[in-house]
Amino acid sequence: MTNYPHPIIAREGWPFLAISFVLAIAATFWCAAWSIPLWIIAAFVLQFFRDPPREIPQDAGAVLSPCDGRVIKVERIQDPYGQREAILISVFMNVFNVHSNRSPADGKVEKIQYFPGKFVNADLDKASTDNERNAVVLKTVDGQTVTFVQVAGLIARRILCYTKAGDTLTRGQRYGFIRFGSRVDVYLPLDAAVKVSIGDKVSATTTILAMLPQKG
């Protein structure tokens, strides 16, 4: 099953692509040699805003990765948004990863919390509490809480979130985007069975981060 409601290039990148390619084309007509750096920039912008379709695992209780990147933290910690003890899995995105964000689980959005903040390196521990961030607290169909937080990075300057309290999200559904390097923190119930380790490379939607226990 896939979730692919838009072209393969994320709509957030269309203005940047238009500008970069127009400048590169114009420079080519003026001076081909001088246009090379602009074509490199245009190619970078094109790869940054790619947003390919993904297969969506349908395993019961699966919590999917909300983004592409590398796991930099797996630990027991306080979830400041869901007000509980939780397991935190942090995924760091570099500028070469796909930056579209997808819902990790099926459920209803209980609340959205946005916090303005700094733009320190998203690979640092303090990024989770100091940086600009946007938290989504989701109640799954089994009544369990999954919190996922978009965190701005060193050069990220725009967090985009397209969902609101009361919305219903399905696993793999595109709900946001972060421009130019960042991370996503996922807070899970303590009885979740974690399936990834620090250093693992993960892919949005296709990688299962953890399994939630099934009730009943």
* Per-residue model confidence as pLDDT tens digits over 117-163: 655 554 555 555 567 889 999 999 899 999 999 988 665 557 889 99
pTM of the model: 0.84
187 and 79 in contact (C-beta within 8 Å)?
yes
Task: Count CB-CB contacts under 10 A for residue 215.
Answer: 8
What per-residue confidence (pLDDT) applies to 104?
Answer: 97
Q: Looking at the annotation, which residues are catalytic?
A: 182
For 92-107, what is each residue's pLDDT tens digit? 988 888 888 999 999 9
* 63-191 CATH pick, 2.70.70, 3.30.870, 3.90.320, 3.90.1310: 2.70.70
Residue 85 has pLDDT above 90, yes or no: yes
What per-residue confidence (pLDDT) applies to 196?
Answer: 97
For 14-52, what is each residue's pLDDT tens digit? 888 888 889 999 989 888 888 898 889 888 888 777 888
Q: Within a 13 Å sphere around the CA of 108, how many CA atoms are in the beta-carbon half?
A: 5
Task: Look at 171 and 120; give whichever has higher pLDDT.
Answer: 171
For the chain, which residues make up each domain, given as ranges?
1-55, 63-191
Sign of CA dihedral 158, 88, 140, 114: negative
What per-residue confidence (pLDDT) applies to 31?
Answer: 82
What per-residue confidence (pLDDT) applies to 71?
Answer: 97
Average pLDDT in the chain: 86
| CB-count exposure of residue 97 (10 Å: 0-12, 13-18, 19+) | buried
